[in-house]
Structures are given as C-alpha cells and as structure tokens.
Amino acid sequence: MNTTGIYIHIPFCKSKCIYCDFYSVAGQDNKIEIFVNALIREIETCPVDTTKWTFDTIFIGGGTPSLLNAQQMEKIISTLDDKYDLNKIIEFTIEANPGEARKEKLKEFYSLGINRLSIGVQSFKSELLQFLSRIHSSDDVFRTFQSARDAGFENINCDLIYNIPGQSLEDWRFDLNTLVNLNPEHISAYSLTVEQGTKLFELLQNKSILMAPEKLHEHFNTLTLSTLTKNNYNQYEISNYSIPNKECLHNLHYWKNDFYLGFGPSAHSYDGKKRWNNFSNLDKYIALLENGKSSIETFDDITEIKRINEIIGFGLRMTNGFKISRIPSNLSNQFQKQLKQTQIKFPKMIIKENNRIKLIQKGMNFADTIAMEMMLS
C-alpha cells in the first residue's frame, strides 16, 4: 500500500502579489461557482487506479481557498468522499489569507473535517507587507489567528518570508519573535525567490530594486534556525519547522517522493512512473471539463534515474535525509561513486548513519548544490 495525499488547487485571489508565480487570478470571483462544478467533474472522472493507495492527507491550497464558502467546500469534500476512502485522513489542511477568513467560516470549515489551517502571514512589518503588495495588516494576522483558535484549530501553520529587499536582520528577528509569541504548531520560513513572469522579476530587471547580498542571506538563515530552535521548533526541512509531531504530513509526501493526486488548474499528480499537470488557465480548465474532456496539459515520464535524483534532491533538504535502501541495487555502484565524489568536494558536510544519507546543519545551506553533485546521470 502506498500512503499518499490529495491536493486541490483553488485559483482565486483578491489581488495578485508581486512575487507570486503560483497560478491564480484576481477579480474573477464570479467564476467560483462554475469552477467548483468543473472541479467536481474532474474528481468524479479521474481515471487513476488508486485501489492500492491509502490517502492520509488532503491539502486545499491556492490561490486563496478561504474565498470559497462552506457550501462550495462541502460539495468538494463530499465528492472526494464519494470517490475515495477518506477514513484514514489524519491531516486536512486549508490555506487562508489573513483578514479573508472570518470566524464563522472557519468554524464551518472545521466542522467539515478540516483540521489544519495554513495562514499566509509573510511579515508583521507594514512597510514589508506593502512592498510585497499584500493587502492585509499585522492586526488582520492576529485576528485571523485568534478566530482559527476559537473555531477549534489546534494545528496552525504560519508562512513567513525573509530576504525581502529593504528587510534588515532586526526586522526579521521582530517577525520571527512576534510569530513565536502566537504559538503556532508549525512555521514555514521561505526565502523570497524571484520568479520569471512576476512583477518582482520586472522590478529587478529594471534595477528599480536590489536583492540582499549573499552574505546577508546566510545571516537570515542562521537567525531563523537559532530563533526557532530556541523556541522549541524543530527544523525538519530547509524552510519548515514544527513542534514535535506537527510536521506537515502532506508536504512530507512530496519530499519523500510518495504518490499524490492533484485537482484544479495547474495541479500536479504523481504515480511513481509519471507526473502530469493540469492546464494553468482557469477558463480553459472549466471549458475542457464542461465539454467532457481531460484538463491535463502534459505527462512527464519519471525514469528510474529521474526518480532517484528526486529522492536525492528532496531528501537532502530534509534534516532526516533519505534512506540509502531507496537506491535500487542496479544503481547502487553508481550512487556510491557519486557519493564519494560529493564527499570529497564537500568534506564533513554529509553524514551516513542508520542507512540514511543526510547533511550536517551547515551543509543545509548548500543542500541544492550538494544534491546536484550527488545526482546520477
């Protein structure tokens, strides 16, 4: 049996943030209802044979899933329930933007079985929120967090972003400490990435703004780790920290190379042999499903080498690393050779223990570079 997760992508936002390249549309809330009908059709007609899969996580992300009302959410969940066995679901997450999820709605979501809330805090500093073009305030964060607790959520994640142009280490310390004082069970601390096609990318190209120098980036990383560790948050992946037993099981599925099903525009799915993704276009997605057609845009064959390289790439980003036994015996010699070479290039960074390969703390800063070196060709 493969333990797996279900992802649902809700592509609506009140406004588009300058840094975000996740697929979402702003100002089209009038299409939510027809989108939900299309999504239901996609779930109902999904042809993947999942008889040997056990689903233990659901993640409704976006976009801004909290823009849906409880009736729409209920329709989606009952469609999933009709199609799949949801009895083993232990973690059911929904993403919400601060100020865009009122207590009553959160209560309704909670009563539908959603037991984890992920709040996009990003920062508590108004000038940084403004730079990121976020439309919420720090007061909205406090209110939404309290509403979530009042609604019954005992498992809350908050996302923060650092390495923002103009952000000082003191600003970042303030954000980390303010969040820690709220006591969320989980914290994702993401370094701001610049993605092609975003407004942020344009601003950097025009030289209107500059990203922080590499040295400062390292200081941000060190401050993140020391502040969160001191406050009993355990780093289990480069950007992810939690109190004991509250790691995000859904994201762990991705990082452990488990199977998953994704529904909604731009969503990906993976069955161990291939990965496929839906069109990142709301109108096309709706039209295809309304006409009884598939919403899939591309299929990608995952060869054995590709799969192993993904295990290495994601694995080294987790503090626990990956199991050596996941490398099949026919590729074992090649892997050992790569491992040796990588150990020479990055001395004392790689640990081999209990049938696992992982990085020492300092090595986590270079996880992607080390992984590239270790990958098979």
Ligand X SMILES: C[S@@+](CC[C@H](N)C(=O)[O-])C[C@H]1O[C@@H](n2cnc3c(N)ncnc32)[C@H](O)[C@@H]1O
**Binding footprint of ligand SF4 on the chain (CB under 6 A):** 13, 16-17, 20, 22, 24, 62-64, 97, 120
Q: Which of 12, 19, 109, 131 binds ligand X (CB under 6 A)?
A: 19
- Given phi > 0 = left and psi -120 to 50 = alpha, else beta, which region is 269? beta
Q: Which of 148, 161, 164, 249 binds ligand X (CB under 6 A)?
A: 161
What the block records as the tokens of 266 is 């731009």
Residue 12 in contact with ligand X, rule: CB under 6 A = no
Q: From the list ligand X, ligand SF4, none, which binds 16 (C-beta under 5 to 8 Å, kind-based)? A: ligand SF4
Count of residues in contact with ligand X, rule CB under 6 A: 16
Residue 202 in contact with ligand X, rule: CB under 6 A = no
Q: Which residue is nearest to ligand X (CB)?
A: 120
Query: Which is nearer to ligand X, 20 or 203 (by Cβ)?
Result: 20
What the block records as the tokens of 38 is 């299309």
Q: How far is the CB of 159 from ligand SF4 (least distance, A)?
A: 9
- What's the rounded Cα separation, in Å, for the pair 256 and 206? 39
Stretch that binds ligand X, among 58-66, 244-252, 335-343, 360-368 (CB under 6 A): 58-66
- What's the rounded Cα separation, in Å, for the pair 266 and 208? 31
- What's the rounded Cα separation, in Å, for the pair 297 and 278? 5
- What's the rounded Cα separation, in Å, for the pair 204 and 215? 19
Q: How far is the CB of 162 from ligand SF4 (least distance, A)?
A: 15
8 DSSP β-pair partners: 60, 263
What the block records as the tokens of 52 is 């040997």
Residue 95 in contact with ligand X, rule: CB under 6 A = yes
Q: How far is the CB of 19 from ligand SF4 (least distance, A)?
A: 7
Q: From the list ligand SF4, ligand X, none, which binds 66 (C-beta under 5 to 8 Å, kind-based)? A: none
Beta strands in 217-304 (DSSP E): 234-237, 240-242, 260-263, 268-270, 274-278, 296-301
Q: Do the Cβ atoms of 120 and 98 come closer than 8 Å?
A: yes
- Interface residues with ligand X (CB under 6 A)? 19-20, 22, 61-62, 64, 95, 97, 120, 122, 159, 161, 190, 192-193, 195
